[in-house]
Amino acid sequence: MTQDFWNTRYRAAGFAYGRTPNRFLAAHAHLLPPGGRVLLPAEGEGRNAVFLAKQGFAVTCFDQSEVGVEKAKALAAKNRVSIAALAADALAFDYPPGYYDAVALIFAHLPPRVRHHLHAKTVATLKPGGLVLLQAFCTEQLHYASGGPKDPTMLYSEATLRKDFAACAEILLLETVLETLDEGPSHQGEGAVISLIARK
C-alpha cells in the first residue's frame, strides 16, 4: 500500500485504528524493562506509541505517512507525553545496532522484500535480550472482513515468522487465533491474527 493510500486514510476525521493501544501490546508491555527504549515501525497515528510513552518508555516511532506522523505527535501532545515520531519508510529508516530494548510491530503489513529487511533490522537494532512483540493478520484473514491487506503475500503465517526470526532470536510465543477486533473503524469484527514474542 502506497504513501498516498495511507495519507488519504489518515486524513479522515478521527483515528482509523482508534486511540487505545493494541490489546496484545498492552497485555505484554510488562515484559519490557522499565524506562526502556522501544521502536515502533509503521506506527500510523500513534496509539501504541502514546500508550508506551504513558508507561514511561522512551518511544521512537516512524511511518511512511506524514499525515499519520503529525496525528501521532498531536495525540502525544494531547496526552502530555513525549515521543520521537518520524516520517520514514522501513527501507530508509536508520536502525542503530544494539540500541533498543524492544521493537513492537503491530499490523505492520509490508511486501515480502521489505518485510524481510524490516525483520532483520528489527533484531539487529535490539540489545542482547531485547524483545520483538509482533501482531498482524495471518493468511486466513482473507476470509474475514475486519481489515488488513487483500494481497496474500502481505499476510503472515507461523512458517514465515519462524523463517524470519528463528535463526536470530528465541521464539517465546507464536500463535494464531481468531479474535474479535475493536480497534477504530478500520479493524472491526472477527479476525485471524498471529502473535509473536521473540528474544534476541
- Determine how β-strand 100-106 pairs with β-strand 126-137: parallel
Mean pLDDT along residues 30-43: 97
> How far is it, in rounded angstroms, from Cα 137 to Cα 150?
11
121-131 confidence digits (pLDDT tens):
999 999 999 99
C-alpha cell at 48: 501504541
Q: What is the pLDDT at residue 12?
A: 79
- Determine how β-strand 58-63 pairs with β-strand 37-40: parallel
> How far is it, in rounded angstroms, from Cα 114 to Cα 112?
5
CATH architecture entry for 3-199: 3-Layer(aba) Sandwich (3.40)
C-alpha cell at 91: 527501507
